[in-house]
Amino acid sequence: MNNFFYLIILFSTIIIPLIFSFHHQNPFYKNYKYVLLAIFVVLCLFIPWDIWFTISNIWGFNKKYISGIFIKSLPIEEWLFFIIINYCALFIFHLVEINLKISNYMNLFSKIFLSIAFSLLLISNLYAIPSKIYTLVASSIGIVILIFLFFNENTFFNFSFILTFLIILIPFLVVNGILTGLFTLEPVVYYDDTKNLSIRFLTIPIEDFIYNFIMIFLATYTYYYSKCHYSKEADDSTFMN
């Protein structure tokens, strides 16, 4: 049964979002093509990153808790992780998006959050050079995203994304806590702490928070703008007809 532990965590995570995706008041399932595109884009970046770090022993997977099925050096559970976690993140983003009312405080809150996050990541990046490769890679990508968001004029997206990220921190702490050994004798995912700052919140390396931030940004940005682009094309087509 232990060999299915990682799978059980993943499928337990997606049950509620999947069921409520078909709720008549917020039919998330109708956006499936944007969801699939967003997940595909995330896979294109994160699978190579994951393979690189796994082969380099920057992190690894406890064979006691995985099925033993591997694809390109990664357990099948890790592939499913990116699909399931991003589906859940996009479902939360969808709920934020349809319920959020535009307000003057959005831009101010976003700028404050981005400024604080930028300062923290810059400090992490400086401490990471040159040996802390996980910290260096994650903080560098994170800094680029923060700069982009700071100058992005779409306040609604910026605030929706940031709010989604903050909401997701709650289930993130639970799921990543389980994966990093908060409730088990051994972690499902283990890390070489010489390649990170060796600072943990509970059992979670702080770099995982940056990793999660990057992943959610990539998923929500792709989802939001592909949906907006399609809606614009549909409106233009209707106008032309």
Domain ranges within the chain, ordered by starting residue: 2-240
Angle at 35 between CA 80 and CA 26, to 5 degrees: 115
Among 17, 5, 19, which Cα is nearest to 178's? 5
In angstroms, the Cα distances linking 88 to 8, 49, 82, 121, 167 are 15, 21, 10, 25, 11
**What are the backbone angles phi and psi of residue 81, rounded to the nearest 5°?**
-55, -50
For residues 164 and 25, give the distance between their C-alpha atoms in angstroms, rounded to a whole number. 19
Q: Say if residues 135 and 207 touch (Cβ distance below 8 Å).
A: yes
Write the pLDDT tens digit of every residue in 206-222.
999 999 999 999 999 99
Per-residue pLDDT of the chain (241 residues; tens, 9 = 90+): 688 999 999 999 999 999 999 988 888 999 999 999 999 999 999 999 999 999 999 999 999 999 999 999 999 999 999 999 999 999 999 999 999 888 888 999 999 999 999 999 999 999 887 889 999 999 999 999 999 999 998 999 999 999 999 999 999 999 999 999 998 889 999 999 999 999 999 999 999 999 999 999 999 999 999 998 776 655 544 444 5
Flag whether the pTM goes above 0.95.
Answer: no
Which uninterrupted H or E stretch holds 4?
Answer: none
